[in-house]
Amino acid sequence: MSETVARRVVVHGSVQGVFFRDTARRRAQSRGVTGWVRNRADGTVEAQFEGAPQAVAAMVAFAHEGPRGARVEHVEVDAVAPEGNAGFEIR
């Protein structure tokens, strides 16, 4: 069984109202990544990605790009303990 890693990201820029959360959910599900994503009141998007190291790295790379229409200015990335999520949800 492969190692599970988790990363918490906070994405700054013009990242709300551009289908960031739905795109993240679809990409995470296709890669077998669990966790969650949500809009924050300050205009950022926060997410936690959990899974195999390469799959989580792909999701962190996505956070730096965002979907079409997003303008990502800065991404904070922190290694965190896995929460043991069963799937990937939009909060």
Q: What is the pLDDT of residue 9?
A: 98
Domains and CATH numbers, the chain: 5-90 (3.30.70.100)
pTM: 0.94
pLDDT tens track for 16-31: 999 999 999 999 999 9
pLDDT tens track for 29-48: 999 999 999 999 999 999 99
End-to-end, the C-alpha distance of the chain in Å comes to 29
Could you tell me the two tokens for 55? 């799959």
Residues with a catalytic annotation lie at: 21, 39
